[in-house]
Amino acid sequence: MNLPNYIVFFDFETGGIEPSKPEIQLAAIAVNERFEERAVFESKISFREDEADAEALKLNHYDPALWANAPHPDAVAARFAGFVENYRSVAMISKRTGRPYTVARLAGHNASTFDGPRLRRMFDRAGVFAPFHPIPLDTLQFALWHFQLNGEKKPENLQLSTIAKHFGIDTEGAHDALTDVRLAAKIAGRLCAGMVAGVAA
């Protein structure tokens, strides 16, 4: 199986699902091609409580004391850019200069439609170069392909915790960004292992 040397799984916790609601936490882990964790990133993000949904904050373990010194979103974007610098594993060619360069491969659960667009908007607002591929790998889509190709009955929904439980993965602490990226990485590892086993069979 041809996997990048490193994959950076990432996840936002937010003050609601609408694009206008604020990001309140960003976490990520870098894993190698064997899905072994190599580095961790986690940051609370400053936001206005009146712009967030109270129920979403409760679900995502919001505690004003823990967010008291949370950095501005622009600072979080800069820190995250620095984190992924060490895990660039995707070769690219600059359209402007024709020169080769590398970016990080991101992954996450529902990352293609939810977390990915939010991350790009955060970087655009901050005016920070995004050293990662614009299209993340997505464990939700990966799971859909798995269920379709294997004729396996899908779980009741495709939420991260539900899919994790389907594969026998402990979900304690879910809806914390760092817990969730680790769940997504474990799901991806199980699905990749299943692919390898299927090919071997």
The answer as to whether 52 is a domain residue is yes
What is residue 45's predicted lDDT score, i.e. its pLDDT?
A: 98
| H helix count then E strand count, the chain | 6, 7
Give SS3 for 112: helix
Give SS3 for 36: coil
Q: Return all residues near 145 (Cβ < 8 A) that are at least 6 apart.
A: none
Q: How confident is the model at residue 1 (pLDDT cuts 50, 70, 90)?
A: low
What is residue 171's predicted lDDT score, i.e. its pLDDT?
A: 94
What is residue 151's predicted lDDT score, i.e. its pLDDT?
A: 86
The answer as to whether 14 is a domain residue is yes
The answer as to whether 1 is a domain residue is no
Query: H/E/C letters for each residue in 149-178?
Result: HHCCCCCCCCCHHHHHHHCCCCCCCCCCHH
What is residue 77's predicted lDDT score, i.e. its pLDDT?
A: 98
What is the chain's Cα-based Rg? 17
How many CB atoms sit inside 10 A of residue 116's CB?
22
State which of 28-32, 171-175, 190-194 shows the largest mean pLDDT.
28-32
Note down the domain range covering 101. 6-200
The answer as to whether 94 is a domain residue is yes
Average pLDDT, the chain: 93
pLDDT tens by residue, 41-60: 999 999 999 999 999 999 99
Decide if pLDDT at 200 tops 70: no
The answer as to whether 24 is a domain residue is yes
Q: How confident is the model at residue 18 (pLDDT cuts 50, 70, 90)?
A: very high
What is residue 60's predicted lDDT score, i.e. its pLDDT?
A: 92
Which pTM was predicted? 0.93
Domain count across the chain: 1
Tokens of 49: 């409580």
Q: Return all residues near 169 (Cβ < 8 A) that are at least 6 apart.
A: 183, 186, 187, 190
The answer as to whether 165 is a domain residue is yes
Cα–Cα distance, 168 to 152 (Å, whole number): 15
CATH number for the domain that contains residue 40: 3.30.420.10
Tell how strand 23-32 and strand 6-14 pair up: antiparallel
Residue 12 falls in which region: left (phi positive, over 0), alpha (psi -120 to 50) or beta: beta
Q: How confident is the model at residue 195 (pLDDT cuts 50, 70, 90)?
A: low
Give SS3 for 84: helix
Q: In which residue are the tokens 């602490």 written?
A: 173
CA dist list (Å): 175 to 36, 136, 138, 171, 192 = 22, 20, 17, 9, 24
The answer as to whether 65 is a domain residue is yes
The answer as to whether 64 is a domain residue is yes
